[in-house]
Amino acid sequence: MKNDDKTPLWSGRFKDANDPLMVQFGASIDFDKRLFQQDIKVNRAWSLALKKTEILSDSEYKIIIEGLNQVREEMESGSFEWDIKLEDIHMAVESRLTEIIGDAGGKIHTGRSRNDQVATDLRLYMMDEVDSFMKMISDVQATRVGGHNTGEYKDRGIIGCSITGLPNHPVENVTLENIRIRFTGGGTLEHAEREIPERAEAYPRCEMFGTLPAYGFFCRHVKNLKFHNIDLGFDADEHRPAFVFDDVKDLDIFNIDAETTPSAKALMWFKHVDGAFIHGCRPSKTVKTFVRLDGNKSNNISLMNNDFSNVEKVLEKGEDVRENAVYLDNNRIR
C-alpha cells in the first residue's frame, strides 16, 4: 500500500488528524536523519535475509535494492524532501521507497520491530563515529601534571590512567612529560594479570575497563608515545607494574622513576611492543625487575644510557619473544 499523503503509518487507528503540536513533539526526524546511511544499510541486509527465507521473491528483492539506492542518492545529494509528518528516519526511508517501487517497499518491515531498527541503526552509527573519532585522536601533549591520592573512580575500582585506542585504530603522537603522580595503590597480583576486553561500545569512557593491570599507566593500541621525566608512586601496597604497554609502536621512555614492589612482575611490562627506546632512567629505589617483555611481535627494544644500580634484574623475557628483540648498550649495571 502506498503512503502518498505521507501520513504516519499508525494513523489508521484515529479518525481525526493529530494536533500539529503533538506531531512536532513526537517527531525525531530533525536529528535522526543523520542515520540514513545506516538505516539503508540495515534495510539492504534485512531484504537479503527476507529473500533467503523466500518471503521476498528475486524480482521483489531486486527492485527493493534499486529503490533503496535511489533513496540514498537523494539523501546524499540533498534533493530528498524531509517531512516532519513521517516522524523518523525509518518511516522516511520506507515511505519514499514505497513511492518509488510500490507495495513491495512495505515488505522491508516484515519480521522486525521499530525497536530492532533503532537499536541496529544506532549501533552501526556509533561504530562509524568511533572510526572517525579515532582518526582525530592524535598529537596530544600533557606537561607539568601532578596529583596525589589518584587512581580511584567512584565504585569502579582502582583504575589508574589509560591511553587506549582500538584494534587497527591506534591513538597517535602522544607526549607526556614532567609528570609526578602518587596513586592510591592497593592493586593485587590478580589485577596485574587481568585480560582487559576491548569494549568498543563503551569507548572512550575513563572507567570502562575497571581496575587496570598497571597502577600508573595502561597503554594499548598506541603509536608514537613518549613518557619523559615521570615520577610515580603509591600509598597502599601495590602489586601491579607502574606501566603496561600492549600493542604499542614507537615508544620513547626517558627519565622514568616509579615505585614498585618485589611481588610485581616488573616496573614496566611490554606486550607486543614494536620499537622502544628506553634511556636516561635511574630508579631511586630498589627494583626487582625493570622490564618484562612478552609477545612474539615485540621487537627493536633498546635500553641505552640508563643507571640500573638499584635494579636487580634489568630484563626478563617470555618464551615467545624473538632472540634478538632487545639491544642493551652503555647501561650502568648493578
Read off the pLDDT of residues 219-240 as tens digits, 9 standing for 90 and up.
Answer: 999 999 999 999 999 988 899 9
Among 46-50, 91-95, 124-128, where is mean pLDDT lowest?
A: 124-128
Q: Quote the CA–CA distance of 145 and 163 in Å, as a whole number.
A: 16
Q: Quote the CA–CA distance of 30 and 10 in Å, as a whole number.
A: 20
Q: Counting runs of H as helices and runs of E as strands, what totals does the chain give?
A: 7, 12
3-state secondary structure of 310: coil
pLDDT in tens, 2-44: 444 455 554 555 566 666 665 565 566 777 778 888 889 999 9
If we measure between CA atoms, which residue out of 206, 226, 215 comes closest to residue 147? 215
Q: What is the pLDDT of residue 1?
A: 39
Task: List the grid coordinates of 283.
Answer: 630508579
**pTM of the predicted structure, to 2 decimals:** 0.62
**What does pLDDT average to over the chain?**
84
Q: Is 11 exposed, middle or buried (0-12, 13-18, 19+ CB in 10 A)?
A: middle
**Average pLDDT of the residues in 257-261:** 94
Give the pLDDT band (50/70/90) at residue 78.
confident
